[in-house]
Structure formats: C-alpha cells, structure tokens
Structure 1
Amino acid sequence: MSTIPEKFSSYTKFISFILKYWNSDVFKAASENALNNENFDDSEHDYKNPEELAEDLKNMGPTYVKLGQLLSTRPDLIPEPYLKALESLQDDVEEIPYSEVQKIVEEEIGQRISKAFENFEVQPLASASIGQVHLAVLRSGKKVAVKIQRPGVRKNFIEDLDTLKELTDVAVKHSKTAKKYAVDEILDELRFILLNELDYVKEAENLIALGENTRKYPKIVIPQPVEGYSTSKILTMDYIDGQKITSISPISRIETNYKPLVDELVAAYLKQIIFDGFAHADPHPGNVHLTKDNKIALMDLGMVAKFSPDLRENILKLLIAISKYNGEETANTLLKMSDYDKNADLAGFRKEINRLVLDSQNKTAKDLQTGRLLIQMNKIAAEKSIKLPVELNILGKILMNMDQIVAVLTPDYDLQRAIERNVEKLMQKKMLQELKPDNFFAEALEAKKLTEKLPERLNIITEKLANNEFEIKIDAIDEQRLTDGFQKVANRISIGVIIAALIIGAALLMRIPSTFTILGYPGLAMIFFCTAAVIGLWLVLRMMMKDEDLNLKK
C-alpha cells in the first residue's frame, strides 16, 4: 500500500502533465472528437511536437508508456501525428543489476544459477519496463533466453493504476468529455493488459498454445518455455538466434525471395484470428525476428487477442466484403457486431463506409493497408455514435503491424489479395469443420427435448381450444400511452372550445356600450380577448415544449 507522500507524488506528476497539455491542440482535438463536434476543423491545427508528448509519457514511468501505447489504438480520439508518435513509444529503462538478477532467479527456481545453468550471461540481450532478457545455457547444452521480471514492478504498476483510477472516476463523474472519452474503460483495458503481462505463467501458456496452433506452418517459429525453469516472475524459453525484421539489409531483400515466407506469415495470422480465436496481439517489427535459416519467430506473447466464435464469423464476413470492395456489405457487417442507440447516424455511417471502401479500390497494392482501413472505420463509427467491439480495433493494429513487416520483406507484396485468398480457404475449412458430427450433438439434444415435450404441449393446447380457454397475448399497443394520448386530445379540444367561446363572447360584447373601457374598448370584451390570447399562447407553448413526440424528434 502506498504512503501519503507517494500518493501525493503520483497525483502531482499526473496533474502537472494534464496542466501542461490542457490547452494544447491534442487535448482540444481529442475533446472535440469525443463530443462529436462537427464544427471542429482538424486541418486548422498543425500539432507541433507530438514527439514531446511521447517523451513526457516516457519520463513519467512505464505505466504511462503502456498507456501511451494503448492510446495509439484510439484514432477516434487522438490526431494522426500523435498516433504515429505514440505507436513508436518504446521503453527506455536502466538495466537491472546482475546481482538483483541472480537473486531473483535463484529465489524463483530454488537453486543457484551455477547449478541450474552451464552458463548465464551477465550482460542482458534486452531490457524493458517489465522485464529483462539474458542469454543462458542449460546443463543439457541447450541455449535459452531467460526473462526476469523487474523487482517491485508489479507494486509500482498497481499503485500508478490505482492513482489513475481515482482520478478518472472523479473525471467521469463530473466531466461530460471524460465520460464520452470512456476514460474509465481505457483504464480498465490497460489494467487487464498489464496484469496479464506481469504473469509469466500466462505468457508461457500462450507460447505453448500458439506453438500448437502454428504447428502446420514450418516457417513460423514460436519459442517454447522450458519446464521447471519458469515461474510467475521468470520465463525460460528457447533462444532464437536471429535479428529484428527492421534490421534486414536492402541487399538481403534483393538476394532472397521472402514472398513464400510472407505468404505463410499472413496465412498463420489469419488462422489465429478467424479459426483459432487466439492471436499474437503485438506483432510490431521489434517482436518479429528473422532467424538465420530464414524463418519468422514471433516473440513476446504477454499480449494476446481472443475472439469469440460469433465475432470470428463476422470478421470473416467483413474481410471478404472488404476484399470484394463491397461497401454496403462492409457497413452491414460492422453494424451487426456493434452497439448503438437511436441517436446513431446509421445512414451517415453507411455512406462514409461505402465511400471509404470504394476509394480503397483505386489504391495500388503498395499503398493499400487493410489495418489502417479498419482503424479509419473505427473512427467513422465513433463519429456516428456507433461503438465497434474493441477486438476489431486490436485486429486493425495487428494488420497495421503486418503491413510494416510486409513492407520490409517484400515492398510490392499485395497483402489485400493475400488476405482474400486465405480468407476463402479458411471459410471452406470452417464450413467443413461445422459439418463434423461433434457439432451436431447440441442440436440433437435440443431436438430430443423438443420431441419429449411436444406431445404434452400439444395436449395442453388442444384441451384449451376445446374448452374455449385458448388465449393469444399480443403486446403490440401500449394501452397507457394510447389512453393518455386520447385524454390529451380531449383536453385540448375542450380548451379550444373555451378559447373560441371567449373570443365569440368578446366580439359580441364589443357592440354593447359600456362605461368600463380599456384603451377605448369595452373593458369586459378586452378581458375576454386577453384571457383567450394567454390561454392560447400557453397551449401552443405546452404543445411545443412538453409533448413527448416532439422531444423524441429533437
């Protein structure tokens, strides 16, 4: 539990950051986007120094680095220049001293490093906010990579997240903008992601699951955990001898045909998303390595995406519609998987999605990016008060990272056509799988229950028909609303008759001489006229301001 000075320091750090950027263009644009202000012109802002925002988040600590990376998936809020700066946001932290590394490893595996490993490199291979990776050799002679969690990192993350939760709860309660932002939902997503990344047992399980799912793709390598050498704080796995995709030289691209490798990578990812419902969610170029024997290794499975069966089916339809440049079907599929209310601009959404898909048809294979297309669709949905599932945004980010990898290995590769080919194959495979006997068991059980209950229910129906007791209840008319409507009409007719009587009476009294006058006219007639005018004005205002029908149309 954090002390009062630590709490004060956390609040000060966050509030100083907010004050610095409160009147900046990025906050103004985010606020206007959150409130769907159609009069806001994004082109009027030049968004100076987006890198400064990324640097400030980095200086605030690893929790805020992760928050920045998460915000890079929200094009519906953050302007384009800041998205790019946040996408490139990486951890820049000091190395854990080797003495600390040795202590953590020995505590976790229950024996000395010198006994557990033939060799354990002092200098790390990589260092990040959550963990640090060292090269080691097991007693069997096998090379492994050992990832060690930073001491106290879980406590620091949770304290920062608790501080953010307290502040965002206040913001959502008192600020319409913060509520529209759904900043509390963003924070919940960040907490979920971080707590999963902090558990190396889950990451080991993810490595095993993905390794099994990609077994049929020989060019895709998933490092597997080493049993007995992994806990919640250390993860020992196969060492992959290779280099980051972004480090490949231009000469290597000329000398080697990487197209078959990219074909297999695209096929493997689409299988993960559409068929398995379990995918590596962070395939940025730093997490994708090219091995010396020209295979692709997927690293760091702390972040994974899971897709439900219904969502997978809709994603399949969506990718087919996009590949066929069918804007209408694309919009229909997006709406099927979305949440929206009566205020949503469905017609505007369909129009803009159709235009976006048709515009993409004219782009070259090199310029067409399916991932960015999905991100743009998410932004259009937000502007039209339509909430797409968060998994679709994750899919957009996955495909955007795929675009980068493809651009490095084979710049002229037609990713859109590759997606279309693989999606059709996966659809055929999915249909064949659904025809298996196992998938008919649930339907067979339901049919059995129906068969068992049907005679009894038919007897009840025929008995009620014979006794003239059979009733059908139709909830089609709101009786209360109907009677209220009739009463309202009757009241207004009555008021109208009274107003007419007052006016007729006033007109007749105008012809009768009277000593009591107002403005030179018979006083009683003027009172009748004024009373009729006031009642008439009141009735008109009530009809305009109070009628439920008018309120619904606003």
Structure 2
Amino acid sequence: MGILPDQYDKYVRFFKFMLKYWNSDVFSFSGDEIQSADKENIADEFDHTPEELTEDLKKMGPTYVKLGQLLSTRPDLLPPHFMEALATLQDDVDEVEYEVVEEIFKEEIGVRISKAFLSFDKEPLASASIGQVHKAVTLSGQVVAVKIQRPGIRKRFIEDLDTLMELSKKAESISKVARSYSLHTVIEELRYILLKELDYNLEAQNLLTLKTNLKSFHHLFIPAPVLDYCSSRVLTMDFVEGNKITKVSPLKIMDLDMVPLIDDLIKGYLNQIIIDGFAHADPHPGNVYLTPDNKIALMDAGMVAKFSNQMQETILKLMIGLSNYDSSRVTDLLLSISEYDDKDVDLALFTKNIERKIQESQNQKAKDLQTGRTLIEINQMAAKQNIHIPVDLNVLGKILLNMDQIVATLTPEYDMQKTVKEYAKHLMQKRMKEDLKPGNLMELFLEMKDLTESLPYRINKFTENLAENKIRIKVDTIDEDRFTGAFQKVANRITAGLIIAALIIGAAMLVQIPSSFTVFGYPAFAFVLFIIAALIGMYLLYQILFVDESKKQK
C-alpha cells in the first residue's frame, strides 16, 4: 500500500517519533535495571525521561495515548518507571458537549436521556481518549455510571492502527531489534485489544462473565451492566462508591483487617487464570477500588485475557515450580511453550540465567518475594536471547506485578508467595476433579472408541504397505550401516520369536496325538519341538541380557 496524501501526516508523526526513540536505550534497557530500588538513579541512565515520552505520545494523538497505556502492560519492553508513567497516561482532551452525548445516547439506545433516567449529571466524572463517564440514576432508582464513546474515535483509531501495522511489518524486515521483540506481533496484539475495547457490548459481557466467575469470592465486587442501556458505544453499569486503592488513607488500612480482602483478590485472580481461563487483565491500582462496605471492586473490564486449556495447565505447573524454586522445571516449561531456533539460542546460558534468577528469589525474605517481577525479568532474558515466550506469560507477569503493588499498599507484611503456593496446589486438585467430570470422561471414551475402530484398518494398511515394500524411513545424520544392522537384528529376533511361538504351538498340538515313540511319557516329536524352542529362547535371552548389554557399555 502506498503513502496516500491523507495519510501523509500520520507517517510524518510516526517517523519523527521513531527517529527520536529508535536508538534510545529506553527500548533496549537491560532487565537488571528492574531490580534497582532507586528509581531516580535509574532514570538518570536513560537519554529520555518518562515525562518526555508521555508528552510525545500525547502530541501524536489519542490512538498513541491508548497504545502507550497498553504498552504499560508489556514490562518486557520498557523500564519500570516508564511503565508507571504510561499506566497513568491521559490525553489532554476536551469534554464532549452534553448535546453530543445526548445525541449519541439516543442514536444508540433509541430513547432520550431524560426518558431513560431520573437524573443525569451533565458534567462528566472523567473524560478520556475513547470516551467519558457520567453519573446517573435510573427510573428504578439505581445509581449508575454511563460511559459514552467519543464521536468519530473508532474511525480515527482504525486508520492510525492500520498505519502502525504496515510500518511495524516493514520495520521487522530491516531491523534485527524489531524482529527480536516481534514488533509486528506486539502491534497486532495491541490492535486486537484496542479494537475490542472500542466495543462496549463486549465490555458489558466481560463484566457479566467476571461477576459470575467470582461470585464465590465474597470480598470482591464486579459492577453489573444495565444491558437495556448498553450498546457498542454506550455502557451503563453499577456506580462504584469508594476510593482507589492508592488513595485509601493509612488510618483506614490500620483499622481494617485487609488480609481476607487480599486473600480473595489473589485467589480470585489465580482462579480466573487457571480455572476459568478468562481474567481481568488490567488490575493496576488505579482500576482497583475499596468500597464503603469494605470490598475490593475491579473496574474497567475492557481489557481481558483469555488462556487456552493447555496454557492454564502450563501456568499452574509454572506457579508451582516457581513457589518450589525448581529452576530446571521452570526452564523446561518455558522452553516447551516458546518458539526459538536452536542455531540462534544459547540454551545453556538461558538455563543458567533462569537458575540464578530463581536462586535470587529463594534468598529473599517472604514479604519481598515478587512472582510477577520474576516472570517479567524471565521474559526480558528470553527476548534478549531470541526465545519468544507466549504473550500470555507477559500478561500473567503484569497481573502478578500489579498484585504485588496492591499487596504492598494494603498489607505490606503479607506473604503473597505462601498464598500462591498453597492455592496453586488447591487449584491442581480442582482441575483434576474437573477432568473426572462425566463430560470429560465421555470425551475420553469417544477418543478411545475412535482409536479402537480405526486401529485394525491402520494396522492392516501398515502391514499391506510393509508387504509391498512401500514403507520408507527417512533419518538424517546417522550411521546408515549401524542403523541397518540394528534394524536387521530386530527383524531377526522378531522372526526367531515367531519361530519359537510356532514350535510351541505345534508341539502342544502334537502332544494330543498318540504315538508309540515317547520321551518321558510325551510323544517324541512334540518333545523335540519343545526342546528346540527352549534352546532358541535361551539363546535369545543370553543375547539380550549379556551380549547387547556389554556392547552398550562399550
């Protein structure tokens, strides 16, 4: 696709940004910086500040502002203090006029605001790049928050994202750095997430799903959508009273027993990831509220993560491996789900780095252990060695890192590692019980039935091809003579086994026939066949136990 006149400004803005940051150490930092406790000293090591990056993104427009916020969920790409700045990045946007809000609401829902609500605050509670939120009261007296999407924002986002998709693909074709961080895949993932977030119908369904999945965690609250007043551009849901976790007063934290709340929060997230495979993906402290009735409310379900059944099992095993400080198990699990080329990867070095990272965690105090940060650092090490770990683990690392921050705010002495370890074992038992459900067993029986039905045909086809000399074995880089000799030895022993079986069966049949020539009361011919079978059998046994074993040792 060529550069069209109406796209000129988009390309110019993008290339100006890239010229400034392409060779910047912001995007090529070493994962070691994340371990430092002094953020001011870390910031001095970079040629651009987080504030400078956020201002540049604001100048590029709302699409890039949102992409900056989404990049804050990719700690494998940016230093921690840059992520914090991007997580709070807000566009300097003007409020949408009430008349426009009313027009969008009527167009989407089919009724005027005055007919749908007893009251509707014209002044928005918050205004962001995608939409703004108003407080209202329904005709039934329910206090709700109404989110209205900005006019024309969808078209603008799609145009900017298409431009980014094209440029990221070209960047990978000419840049090794872009390829090592799978830049096109990152942009594609962010595009997918952002387009989903533009559809408020999906966010309403996400709220319903999360509310159902977390109903057994009594200290967690998910606002329910009012579906009659929801559309792709309008989202109406329960209004959440309370304060952000970061703004809860120290006195309230001291007065309230936060441990049950944190227990439910951590276990609820583990349950979402490992059992449900559907998780609220952006639990940064700004999206987590403490309500007046002392519950933790999870806000903004526009961004969710979905985990396949296989990934759920891998994450469960990984969490158990991390809690047991089993570096070899963690390494094996990571490599089993990653993409890499043996020629470009030093697996020994990667294994060594993982072992060191796990050992560092083992030597820390319980309250300082941060599983999320460990996963993020592992992702960084993998990326630098051209090992492409699935994005799911980046999301997991970010979720757990946010859990670490919330725990540090509400219960600094809480042993999160202990809770993760104990609850992971409980979830292992829960998954095993799920596998024993009638539906799963029926699926297993159907698979066995299919195998049983197809096995005779497959064996028949194999033996037919074997008889017609149609079987071909392709093996690279082996000693052909040695392989042929081994194959011949196997064939000879199979033949000998068949001969022994035939001799025994024949002798057994001859025993039943009366004969004048006997040995120890048995027909002589049958006795001779038994003796021959026994001798061949003992010879084969000798070859297997002694001759082959001695060759193996040599």
TM-score bracket relative to the smaller structure? 0.7 to 0.9
> How far does residue 477 in structure 1 lie from its aligned partner after superposition?
4.5
In 2, distance between residues paired with 1:113 and 1:462? 76
Q: Does 1:348 align with 2:352?
A: no
Instruction: Tell me the SS of whatever aligns to 1:228.
Output: helix
Deviation at residue 455 of structure 1 after TM alignment: 4.6
Deviations 1:35-74, CA, capped at 9 Å, x for gaps: xxxxxxx999444523211221123222112222333344
| Structure 2 counterpart of 1:340, one-letter code | Y
Amino acid aligned to 1:450: L
SS in 2 for 1:136: strand
Cα 1:469–1:402 change in 2 (3 A) is: same
CA offsets per residue over residues 422-472 of structure 1, 9 Å max, x none? Answer: 11111111111111221111221122233334455566677888xx65765
- 2:363 aligns with 362
Range moving further from structure 2, 131-140 or 167-176: 167-176
Structure 2 counterpart of 1:215: 215
Partner secondary structure for residue 366 of structure 1? helix
Q: Partner of 1:187 in structure 2? A: 187
Task: Classify 1:305/1:165 alpha carbon distance in 2 versus 1 (closer, same or farther; 3 Å).
Answer: same
Alpha carbons 1:242, 1:290 under 8 Å: kept: yes
**d(CA) in 1 for partners of 2:207 and 2:157?**
24
**Structure 1 Cα separation of the partners of residues 462 and 160 of structure 2:** 63
Asked whether the 8 Å contact 1:109–1:230 carries over to 2, the reply is yes
Map of 1:440 onto structure 2: 441
1:40-59 equivalences in 2 (<5 Å): 45-59=45-59
Q: Report if aligned partners of 2:26, 2:48 keep a CA contact under 8 Å in 1.
A: no
TM-score, reference length from structure 2: 0.79
Alignment of 1:468-507 (within 5 A): 469=468, 472-477=471-476
Structure 2: gaps spanning 5 or more residues:
34-41, 482-554
Equivalent residues of 2:66, 2:129 under 8 A apart:
no
Deviation string 1:195-251 (CA, Å, 9 cap, x unpaired) is 000001111111111111011112111111112110000011111112111110000
Cα distance in 1 for partners of 2:462, 2:103 equals 76
Residue identity matched to 2:425: E
Provide the residue aligned with 1:259 in structure 2: 259
Contact (CA 8 Å) 2:203, 2:302: kept in 1 or not? yes
Question: What residue in structure 1 maps to residue 206 of structure 2?
Answer: 206
Task: Note if contact 1:345-1:385 (Cα within 8 Å) is conserved in structure 2.
Answer: no
By how many angstroms is 1:86 displaced? 2.9
Look up the equivalent residue of 2:210 and give its one-letter code: L
Contact kept, 8 Å, 2:275 with 2:312, in 1: the verdict is: yes
Partner of 1:236: 236
* Structure 1 pair 157–455 and aligned structure 2 pair: CA distance change class (3 A): closer
Give the Å deviation of 1:478.
7.0
Q: Deviations over 1:8-41 (max 9, x none)?
A: 22222222222333454435659xx9xxxxxxxx
With 55-64 and 318-327 compared, the bigger mean Cα shift is at: 55-64
Using the alignment, how far apart are the partners of 1:6 and 1:469 within structure 2? 67
How far off is 1:191 after superposition? 0.9
Question: Structure 1 residues 136 and 341, CA, compared in 2 at 3 Å: closer, same or farther?
Answer: same
| Two-structure CA RMSD over aligned residues (Å) | 2.7
- Partner Cα separation in structure 1 for residue 461 and residue 170 of structure 2: 57
CA distance in 2, matches of 1:46, 1:173: 27
Aligned mates of 1:475, 1:23 — CA distance in 2:
47
Check conservation: 2:328, 2:351, Cα contact below 8 A. yes
* Matched residue, 2:534: none
1:381 aligned onto 2:363: no
Alpha carbons 2:272, 2:279 under 8 Å: kept: yes
Asked if 1:424 is matched to 2:448, the reply is no
CA contact (8 A) 2:204 2:227 kept: no
Change (3 A) 1:177 1:324: closer
Cα 1:472/1:261, change in 2 over 3 Å: same
Question: Which residue in 1 is equivalent to 2:293?
Answer: 293
Look up the match of 1:169: 169
Deviation, 1:482, is: 8.3
Distance 1:369 1:456, change over 3 A: closer
**Which stretch shifts more, 83-92 or 160-169?**
83-92
Residue in structure 1 matched with residue 102 of structure 2 by the alignment: 102
AA of the residue aligned to 2:472: K
Please tell me the residue identity of whatever aligns with 2:122: V
Matched pairs, number: 469
Within 5 Å, which residues of 2 pair with 1:22-61? 22-26=22-26, 29=29, 45-61=45-61
Q: In 2, are the aligned partners of 1:316 and 1:423 still within 8 Å (CA)? A: yes
Q: Quick check: 72-81 or 288-297, which moved more?
A: 72-81
Cα gap change, 1:476/1:219 in structure 2, threshold over 3 Å: closer, same or farther? same
Residue number in structure 2 paired with 1:536:
none
Does the aligned pair in 2 maintain the 1:47–1:81 contact within 8 Å? Answer: no
Q: 6-15 or 337-346: which moved more?
A: 6-15
Aligned-pair CA distance for 1:163: 2.3
SS at match of 1:412: coil
Query: 2 CA distance for matches of 1:116 and 1:145?
Result: 13
Q: Which residue of 1 aligns with 2:399?
A: 398
User: Quick one: structure 1 residues 266 and 450, their matched pair in 2 at CA, closer, same or farther if it must change by over 3 Å?
Assistant: same
Partner Cα separation in structure 2 for residue 476 and residue 254 of structure 1: 69
The residue type paired with residue 432 of structure 1 is K
Does the C-alpha gap of structure 1 residues 477 and 333 become closer, same or farther in structure 2, counting only changes over 3 Å? closer
Alignment-mate amino acid for residue 258 of structure 1? M
Secondary structure of 2:227 counterpart: coil
Corresponding letter in the other structure for 1:476: V
Report the TM-score when normalising by structure 1: 0.79
CA 1:404 to 1:380, structure 2 compared with 1: closer, same or farther past 3 Å? same
1:271 aligns to what SS in structure 2?
helix
- One-letter amino acid matched to 2:224: Q
8 Å CA contact 1:136, 1:143 repeated in 2: yes
Give the 3 Å change call, closer, same or farther, for CA 453–326 of structure 1 in structure 2: closer
